[in-house]
Structure formats: C-alpha cells, structure tokens
Structure 1
Amino acid sequence: MNANRTMKLSTLAAAVGFLVTGAAYALDANQAEQTVGYEVEGYGVISVSANVTGLTISAPLVPGDAPADATDTGKTYSYSTNKTDQVITAQLNEIMETGLALKLTLGTPTGDDAAGTSGGEQTLDNVTAKTLVTGVAGNGSGSIAYTLSATTAAAVGATLSKTVTFTITDA
C-alpha cells in the first residue's frame, strides 16, 4: 500500500511540475529578458572665455619706479565634474622672456552645486602646472585675472603671446 501511495504522490508531483514548468515556458513565448550592464565614467571638463589681448606694460609714472603691471580681469572659466576633490591647474606652453612674469588667479567657483577654493595668485611657467583651485566638485564657474609684470630687463617692442593650458584633474 505504501508503494502505491508513493507512486500516486510521485505521479501527482510530476504532473504539478509539468504544469508549472509548462506555464513558465508558455510565458517565455511572449516575453524575453536581457541583462543590461552599465557604468558611469568619471569626468571633468573645463572651458575658458575669450583669449586675452592687450596686456601692455607702460612706462612708470615716476623715474626710478618699476613699470606698472598690466592686468585683465574680464575673463571667466567654467567646469563640470562628477568627481570630488579635483584640482584646476594651469601651465604655460613655453618659458616667459627675460624680465617678464605672467601671473594668474582663478576666483573661487560659484554655482548651485559648485565646490572649490581659490589658491590665490600663481606665477606661471612652462615646467610645473600651478594649482589654482582645490576641492573642485559639481558644476561651477569663476573669474580669471591675469597680471603681466616687467622689470627693466624686459625686451622692448615685440608683441608676444603664450598659450595657457588649463586642466581639471584628480588631486
């Protein structure tokens, strides 16, 4: 009698299993699944406004004084990053001529989710990228101020230019 009951239960279990399995296969006929893999890459992008022109060193007003610095404070920078603790650096493409120094200040960024602190004025060169803003995160913008300084050793007459490369990168 136990063998007969075991046989009936086995048959019943097989039938239920077939119905459940058959139902699952029936659903598969009008549905499909696909696994989607994804990733958000870290990014940092930066842009600057128009080129700087017209930084001109003029004669000092008083004999014996150094020439007055030439400044441009009318430019801006903007950035977007989905990382935290980024830095913005700047570097010249080539060495400054004898008697000249180009200084740069980036203002502390502003914006709804902007973060960062200005490092103050930095004298640019072509050897080392100067850190101008630290703790950069989010989306922000700020002011750019250039100062050109000269000594009496600076060459006279030539109109020159340099390229400043701005970079946003990990601290």
Structure 2
Amino acid sequence: MNNVPMTVAGEAALRAELEHLKKVERPRISDAIADAREHGDLKENAEYHAAREQQSFAEGRIMEIEGKLAGAQVIDVTQIAKTGKVIFGTTVSLLNVETDDEVTYKIVGEDEADVKNNLISIGSPIARALIGKEEGDVVVVRAPGGEIEYEIDDVQHI
C-alpha cells in the first residue's frame, strides 16, 4: 500500500472519529439491536433492521478509517526547515495577478480537503502548480474555467 500524506491535524481528526465510533456508536448500536430483538419477530421488525443497517455503516467506516491511518504518512510541517518553498502542509497566500484578489490555502491530504475552509488537496490543480515554488514566483493554474496566474505572496509553515 502506498503512503498517503496527511497532516497532524488530519490524523488527529481521523483518530477522534475512530474513537467515537468504537466507544460511543458501537455500544449504542449494540444496545439498539438488543432492544429491537426483545420486540419479537425479527423479519418484520423495522427497528432491528435499521439498527443492523447503522451497524453496517459504522463498521464499514471503522474499517475505512483504520485503513487510511495504516497507510498514512503523517507530515508535521512545523518540524521542517522553513525554506520559503511551497510543500505539503504549508499555508500559501496567493495574489491573483489579473484581479489583485488575495486568497490563502493550506495544502493538505486528500481526505482533509475542504475548499470552503481553504484546505486544498495535494492532488488539486492549484496545489500541483504551487508545489516546489517559492515566495515571489508567479504560477499558472490550469483550472476548469481557464488559466489563472497567481503570485505567491507568502508561505507559512504552520
């Protein structure tokens, strides 16, 4: 299995979700199944079938998270020498050359990406264009809406 890059915060969020699923959801679902069994005929027991479906989803998610954590390469960008280069985990402030609009993105792993919170995936077109560049460089991002030129204004290792 290939190592998948993940930030420290991303790993912590997955571990917290995994713990919640194992320590809170599993027992709750087991109790719901036990309660539903007490109501008699399982063939026509909607509560029982709903609880079993919840159990299936929870167990699937637990397996998925465990797999992601097993294949994760956790990268702590604060422990890497600050070079001014854009690397995985850095926060980058960009200036749109054409419109002078400024935007800030943090480059994170695939599972952590959330564009609404300015967390972009390492595999996104913007991140691919930025990786390896330095403050002051101008990069061209090939986006679905066309090419956009950005100047790298600031690179932070936070």
Q: TM-score, normalised by structure 1?
A: 0.21
| More RCO (CA 8 Å, sep 6+) | 1
- Which structure is higher in strand share? 1
- Which structure is higher in helix share? 2
Q: TM-score, normalised by structure 2?
A: 0.22
